[in-house]
Amino acid sequence: MVEMRGISKRFPGVLANDRVDLDVASGSIHALLGENGAGKSTLMHILSGLYRPDSGTMKVEDRAVSFASPLHAIRAGVGMVHQHFMLVETQTVAENVVLGDRRLGFRMDPSAIRDTVADLGRESGLEIDPDALIWQLSVGERQRVEIVKMLHRGARLLILDEPTAVLTPPEADTLFDRMRGMARAGRTLLFISHKLNEVMELAETVTVMRQGRVVDTVPKAQVSHRELVRMMVGSPVLFDVTVPPVQQGRKLLSLRSLRVENDRGQTAVDNLSLELRQREILGVAGVAGNGQRELAEAITGLRKLQAGTIELDGFDVTGSNQRRMIDLGISWVPQDRQHTGTAPNLSIQENFDLKRYRSARRGPFLDRAGQSSRAAALLAKYRVAASGRLQPVRLLSGGNLQKIILARELSTELRVLVAESPTRGLDVGAIQTVHELLMEQRSRGVAILLLSEDLQEVLSLSDRVAVIHNGRIMGILPRARAEADTIGMLMAGVVPEDMAT
């Protein structure tokens, strides 16, 4: 059905797809598996005509194609259902299905369209009331409308971008049934996922991507959970980090039975308990989207707890806001450097002072002099490559941006550090620096919660490793017993037999 050869796509600073080959058999259900940022979406956007590749060739149904727009792709039979639906809320299902369909003339015959849409729904098993208004529909139903829309335009290959991300488990089960039905009816389905379970359940063939490249394409029947995990996260070559032996101190942070919801109101952290001591790095390994972000936000006061308590050094700090958590000495290196961790148009100096400005003892006024002398010192200490302390941080590279954030978060009187994927996207040298900084803080008595998708990193740095899956802690292993295979299984939500006690 599809044959992609040597596809490369470069975005400023990132090689998103690096000479990717992909073959998809007609009538199959094919999964594209990989972590966030592995290049899956980019590849699918190329296949569906949204992006043009920098190089490489594509064939669809044995014909060489080059899509200038999604319109061209759909003409060749390739349609994509995005994570974010593109529907007009105030119009009916039928109207949305035919919206933008160039084959329709200026005049429309509403009843004929309604019948067509209803028929199409029945055939594909995606029954949907053509007269319903979009805003009245649930998320699952809207997704069905999107699929029917693509079928109506003649999509023979249907690409679904993380189709279950927005669905409840029962909705997801229904969707899987329908997808199997469509495949039996001869359509080809290609879906993006980073959830092992659904890949194992649904796909016939799995292509695993990592860092813009295809690791391998394998029939599902010939591969195990464990092997897929290994392909996804790569071979755990441990970093060269010296972890000096230290005596761990008293309990600094206790999380008890936390329950936190995500932005959509679904439970993201479920009855989670953890304890963190002085001079300890507790690594939390897990595939992205399993509640790490919500957990970090809950600890740092940004997200409301639905249940549970947080204790800091023996004091109950449950329900404190971000400002108080900062004052109590909880530092946070957020995963999203540009959108959470820094103010892009403000200067380096100001970003250093993003939190600290409040403590200047000058009444309502800023301590500009202190700000600039501190900035100068931090720039030197952290060896940030910048034209000066007044440079806007948006002009910095990812590594330097991370140094700014670390410099800020580590230059305060901190007791607990929450570090989310602190080395993501950094080059080797920068990674080394970050790791050394974390170790230095550990020696100074800081308790560090390291949330990372990067198994290598977690294994290299952590005193203990906890594995998170679906917002729950699947298990906690001391450094000595933390092996990549076991952790990979836990990350996939599978408890290995040797642990199931």
Partner 1 sequence: MTGGTVSGTVPSGRPRLRLEARDQPGLLTHLAVSLLLLVAALFLAGIVMTVAGGNPLDVYRSMFGAGFGSKWGLNDTLVKMVPLTLASLGVALAFRMKMWNIGAEGQLLMGALAASGVALFAVPPDMPQWLALALLAAAGAAGGAVWGIVPGWLRAQFGVNEIISTLMLNYVALSIVQFFVYGPWGERGFGLTPMFERNTWLPRLTEFADQWSALRGLTLHLGILAVPVAIVCLAILLNRTKFGFEIAMVGDNPDAARYAGVRLRRTMIIVMALSGALAGLAGMNEVSGVVHRLLEHISPGYGYTAIIVAWLGRFNPLAVAVVAFLFGGLIVGADEIQSAGISSLLQGVILFVMVSGNLLIRYRIRLRVPETLA
Which positions lie near partner 1, rule CB under 8 A?
52, 300, 302, 321-323, 325-327, 332, 334, 336, 338-346, 350, 353-355, 357-358, 360, 364-366, 368, 392, 394-395
Q: Which is nearer to partner 1, 208 or 296 (CB)?
A: 296
Angle (CA) 437 297 360, round 5°: 65
CB of 489 to partner 1, least distance (A): 34
Q: What tokens were used for 156?
A: 């023979």
Q: Compute the Cα dihedral for 491, 450, 194, 294 and give only its sign.
A: positive
Cβ proximity to partner 1: between 41 and 92 the closer is 41
Query: Is residue 229 packed enough to be buried (19+ CB in 10 Å), middle (13-18) or exposed (0-12)?
Result: buried
Running DSSP on this structure, what letter comes out for residue 133? B
Shortest spacing between CB 41 and partner 1, in angstroms: 17
Phi, psi of 317 (to 5 degrees): -115, 15
How far apart are CB 50 and partner 1 at their closest, in Å?
Answer: 13
Q: How far is the CB of 341 from partner 1 (least distance, A)?
A: 7
Residue given tokens 């044995």 in the structure block: 62
Find out whether 496 and 483 touch, Cβ atoms under 8 Å: no
E strand map for 146-278: 157-161, 188-193, 205-210, 213-219, 251-261, 267-277
| CA pseudo-torsion sign 387, 388, 392, 397 | positive
Question: Which residue, 326 or 494, has its beta carbon nearer to partner 1?
Answer: 326
Closer of 11 and 427 to partner 1 (Cβ): 11
Dist CA 236 CA 191 (whole Å) = 27
Nearest CB to partner 1, comparing residues 170 and 364? 364
In whole angstroms, the minimum distance from the beta carbon of 333 to partner 1 comes to 11
What minimum distance in Å lies between the beta carbon of 484 and partner 1?
32
Closest CB to partner 1 among residues 12, 105 = 12
CA distance 47 to 66: 9
Alpha-carbon span 447 to 283, nearest angstrom: 11
* Residue 250 and residue 446 in contact, taking contact as beta carbons nearer than 8 Å: no
Q: Quickly tell me which residue has 């403000």 as its tokens.
A: 346
> In this complex, which beta carbon is closest to partner 1, that of residue 11 or of residue 315?
11
Closest separation between CB of residue 324 and partner 1, Å? Answer: 8
Output DSSP code: residue 395.
G
Q: What is the closest distance, in whole angstroms, from the C-beta atom of residue 47 to partner 1 in the complex?
A: 18
User: In angstroms, rounded to a whole number, what is the distance separating the alpha carbons of residues 6 and 246?
Assistant: 50
Smallest distance, partner 1 to C-beta of residue 404, A: 12
Sheet holding 188-193, edge to edge: 78-81, 157-161, 188-193, 29-33, 205-210, 213-219
Nearer to partner 1, 362 or 383 (CB): 362
CA 390 from chain center: how many Å?
32
